């Protein structure tokens, strides 16, 4: 199968040679995330060592990284989804990666602002989904950051925001896009990250392996 591609870009496996550029991309994509929770070059090099088939980048025709996603295999009790990034992942080096884990957990996915709305994020999710299927996993699991909540936190509780989001009454810039792809919301997770844009809140999201990307 040919790698996903669009005008001027293509998806490829992450290489150690991409590490420095991806560390800079993290700062651009997640400017308000606490620096202690951003991946650096050493982290990316280690991710490729421990789980090479789960790491992807989008590259320009000039081989410049413009988007990336990091994954690992692990287990999570979906009836008790509360966890915190990055402790749940064993730190930023992903030492919690379990070669026998039943879920492909998306630790992050980011696209450079200049390259958004071109189908790149969807292509990265599709590459993850193909990996989950090839490995016989239950599917993808991730936590979407409620990046629209921080702007309304002074007049709305996170619980109300989440319920209205699920009902379709409001749209979140991150989680709504993930739901359109096919991810199913499975509960609100407080204190997931240190980021004022989402007030620290995330949403548990699952995409079963037998469900196609929308």
pLDDT in tens, 32-41: 999 999 999 9
Establish whether the linkage from the previous residue to 86 is cis, with ω within 30° of 0. Answer: yes
What is the pTM for the complete model shown?
0.95
In the predicted model, is pLDDT for residue 5 greater than 90? no
What is the rounded distance in angstroms from the CA atom of residue 207 to the CA atom of residue 171?
Answer: 19
Q: Does domain 5-207 have CATH number 2.40.10.10?
A: no
The mean pLDDT of 105-111, rounded to a whole number, is 98
Residue 185: how many CB atoms within 10 A of its CB?
16
pLDDT in tens, 51-104: 999 999 999 999 999 999 999 999 999 999 999 999 999 999 999 999 999 999
With bands split at pLDDT 50, 70 and 90, how would you rate the model's confidence at 3?
A: confident
In the predicted model, is pLDDT for residue 159 greater than 80? yes
pLDDT in tens, 10-23: 999 999 999 999 99
CB < 8 Å & 24+ apart, contacts of 21-27: 21/64, 21/65, 22/57, 22/65, 22/68, 25/65, 25/66, 25/67, 25/68, 25/110, 25/112, 26/110
Residue 208 tokens, joined: 């079963």
Spatial CA neighbour of 183 closest among 193, 192, 191, 172 = 172
Domain ranges, ordered by start, for the chain: 5-207
With bands split at pLDDT 50, 70 and 90, how would you rate the model's confidence at 6?
A: confident
Instruction: Please give the span between the terminal C-alpha atoms of the chain, in angstroms, as a whole number.
Output: 19
Cβ partners under 8 Å of residue 158, min gap 6: 146, 149, 188, 190, 199, 201
pLDDT value of position 150: 96
Q: Give CA separation, 78 vs 136, 186, 204, in Å.
A: 19, 8, 9
pLDDT value of position 2: 65
Residue 32: how many CB atoms within 10 A of its CB?
12
DSSP code string of 41-109? HHHHHHHHHH-GGGEEEEEETT--EEEEEEEEEE---TTS----TTGGGTTTTTTT--TT-SEEEEEEE
In the predicted model, is pLDDT for residue 157 greater than 70? yes
Residue predicted with more confidence, 99 or 7: 99
pLDDT value of position 4: 83
The mean pLDDT of 184-211, rounded to a whole number, is 97
Residue 172: how many CB atoms within 10 A of its CB?
21
Spatial CA neighbour of 199 closest among 155, 168, 166, 163 = 155
Q: Give the length of the chain.
A: 214
Return mean pLDDT, the chain.
96
With bands split at pLDDT 50, 70 and 90, how would you rate the model's confidence at 1?
A: low
pLDDT value of position 188: 97
Q: Is 164 exposed, middle or buried (0-12, 13-18, 19+ CB in 10 A)?
A: middle
């Amino acid at each position: 199968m040919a790698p996903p591609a669009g005008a001027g870009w293509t998806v490829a496996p992450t290489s150690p040679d991409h590490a420095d550029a991806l560390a800079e991309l993290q700062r651009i994509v997640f400017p308000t995330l606490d620096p202690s929770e951003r991946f650096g070059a050493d982290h990316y090099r280690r991710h490729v060592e421990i789980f090479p088939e789960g790491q992807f980048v989008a590259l320009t025709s000039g081989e410049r990284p413009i988007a990336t996603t990091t994954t690992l295999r692990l287990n999570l009790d979906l009836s008790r989804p509360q966890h915190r990034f990055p402790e749940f992942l064993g730190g930023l080096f992903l030492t919690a990666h379990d070669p026998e884990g039943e879920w492909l957990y998306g630790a992050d996915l980011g696209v450079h602002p200049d390259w958004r709305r071109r189908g790149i994020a969807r292509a990265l999710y599709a590459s993850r989904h193909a990996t989950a299927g090839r490995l016989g996993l239950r599917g993808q699991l991730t936590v979407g950051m409620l990046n629209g909540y921080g702007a309304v936190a002074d007049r709305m509780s996170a619980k109300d925001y989440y319920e209205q989001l699920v009902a379709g009454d409001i749209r979140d810039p991150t989680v709504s896009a993930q739901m359109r792809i096919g991810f199913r919301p499975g509960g609100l997770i407080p204190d997931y990250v240190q980021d004022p844009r989402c007030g620290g809140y995330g949403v548990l999201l699952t995409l079963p392996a037998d469900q196609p990307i929308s």
